[in-house]
Amino acid sequence: MGWYNKVKYMTSKLQDNFAGEILNDEKTLATYSHDASIFEVKPEAVVFPKNVEEVKQLVKYVSTQKPNDKNLSLTARSGGTDMAGGSINESILVDFTKYFNHILEVKKVAPFTNAKGKKVIGEATVEPGVYYRDFDPKTLEIGAIMPTFPASREICTVGGMAANNSGGEMSLGYGQTKNYIKELKVVLSDGEEHTFGELDEEQLQEKMKLKNFEGDIYRRMFSLLEGDFEFIQSKRPTTSKNSSGYFLWDVWDKKKFNLCKLFAGSQGTLGLTTQIKFDLVPQRQPSQLLVIFLKDLVKLGEIAETVMKYSPDTFESYDDNTLNLAIRFLPQMILSMKGGIFKLGWQFLPEMGLALTGGMPKMVLIAEFSGTSEVEILAKISPISQELKNKFNVKTHITKSVLEAQKYWTIRRESFNLLRKHVRGISTAPFIDDIIVHPNQLPEFLPRLNEILKKYPQMFYTIAGHAGDANFHIIPLLDLKLEKNRQAIAELSAKVYDLVLEYKGSITAEHNDGLIRTPYLEKMYGKEMCALFEKTKEIFDPQNIFNPGKKVHGSLQYALDHIKKG
């Protein structure tokens, strides 16, 4: 059956219970063939369900038809900002932004301390298609935030944050999204919506007594996790962040059993999430930035170690190429900030002067410190600034206002978006975009990484990221029409990942596996652990209907064959 007839048949089967749209026009399919990754994969249809019943109908339809069409599948999509190819597929895409975009409840709760040692003061129940930019103002109304937003905070959704286990600039102190998911509602492969949260041993036993698909999942997952408990725990990545693989080591600790920890970071491969309940922490205190300008990267590792001794709230970075990009696209950069255009433009005069005189720093580090008053904050920052000057002879600057600090944050957050939208002829090529090691390894690791990158002079690239976590986002710009550049992606990926794993790092801290990194999971975890990932997928999704090719059964050749050509 051709794709047109298949969609027509599906529409006729669903029309009695499905009020949402099913689109298959060329413009829609072309738009949904891309996310923020290097890939192009054309779907057969894009579906916009209006409610949970319609999501259930979709899953039941695909489950029923799967034996007749092995390629039939469902891939969840919201903001489309995934950089790993996690939200594109050849079959049916399920867009949650159009109708599953409601903030259902935001409320204060009795304060408690979570597993990350952070004070929780609120709770929010949302649908997965809610944009973080709309979510954040609502939580601020009760003086709270969900702290794990990524740099793409203006264009990403909370569903994507959960699916990728996002971290972002506040992850240094607050960890990743998995630490703030209190409860999930998910439509599983049986076509029913199930609720997941933390269970004690007695509650777990009750779940395992259920004579249905949910009970089967609990019984089989408990058997898998208990049977290989020590081995699974030994495979837990030791870096401060990780979004690679299924987080099996987090589900069962011999006291508590929580499948939300498994759904976090699973990229929609185990079911379709319909509702998320998040824990919220107090909004940020007033803060100022210590900005550090590096003439070279020789001492970057040691400088990062020095700053980390003072426990900054956040510690970010961007390189000279990123800064040049900000100056090149200054009008667009200013438009992304809030305030008068002339007042904002004035903030960038120092950077424009550096660009004109050739005095651009090789890298800019921004360390954020908060406190109850400016006096308290300066008491924290001034000794660090002085130590850095004395020890490394580097230039530093302490921001004087929120507006001035916003300039540095905007450069850090908007660089990739500017690359995607405004650079012509060559494309952003995120494929080694999210590596992480341990901060104390940076003095040794970074020179070796630079030696690898130097062997590819055809690649212009920007580097930004989370210096405090030793998590760097390397984004090359490439002409993807050239076969040599496309082949270099696989070659360079293997070299960089080998180096990262030599240092016991992770191939992806927060951007996840998707099409680009799933083929390298065996390199990171080994065959035995990947077999447990496959078993997990089979328990939840025996027919492989949810987002196939991600997390398990990835194909490097498929990924290379689907790199966009410009």
Q: Which residue has the tokens 């929609």?
A: 268
Residue pair 186/272 in contact (Cβ under 8 Å)? The answer is: yes
d(CA 565, CA 22) in angstroms, rounded, equals 28
Quote the tokens at residue 6. 């298949």
For residue 252, give the nearest of 295, 283, 220 by alpha carbon: 220
pLDDT for 412: 83
For residue 280, give the nearest of 416, 130, 386, 135 by alpha carbon: 135
Quote the tokens at residue 244. 């690679």
Degrees to nearest 5, angle at CA 47 with 44 and 49: 165
What are the extents of the domains in the chain?
Answer: 103-282, 285-422
CATH no. for 103-282: 3.30.465.10
Backbone angles phi, psi at 124, to 5 degrees: -135, 135
Residue pair 433/474 in contact (Cβ under 8 Å)? The answer is: yes
SS3 content of the chain, % helix, strand, coil (to 5): 45, 20, 35
d(CA 184, CA 182) in angstroms, rounded, equals 7
d(CA 402, CA 533) in angstroms, rounded, equals 45
User: Which pTM does this prediction carry?
Assistant: 0.92
Over 390-441, what HEC string results?
HHHCCEEEECCCHHHHHHHHHHHHHHHHHHHHHCCCCEECCCEEEEECCHHH
Backbone angles phi, psi at 448, to 5 degrees: -70, -40
**If the chain, 566 residues long, is cut into consecutive pieces of 10 residues, what is the mean pLDDT of each piece?**
56 64 94 95 96 95 94 96 96 97 98 94 98 97 96 93 94 95 98 98 98 98 98 97 98 98 98 98 93 89 92 91 76 59 50 54 92 92 95 92 83 72 72 94 89 87 89 89 88 96 97 97 98 98 98 96 87
pLDDT for 388: 96
Quickly name the fold that domain 285-422 has: Alpha-Beta Plaits (3.30.70)
d(CA 76, CA 270) in angstroms, rounded, equals 11
The upper half-sphere exposure of residue 341, i.e. CA atoms within 13 Å in the direction of its Cβ, equals 5
Contacting residues for 93 by C-beta, under 8 A, at least 6 apart: 32, 43, 45, 46, 47, 74, 75, 76, 77, 87
Residue pair 458/429 in contact (Cβ under 8 Å)? The answer is: no
pLDDT for 201: 97
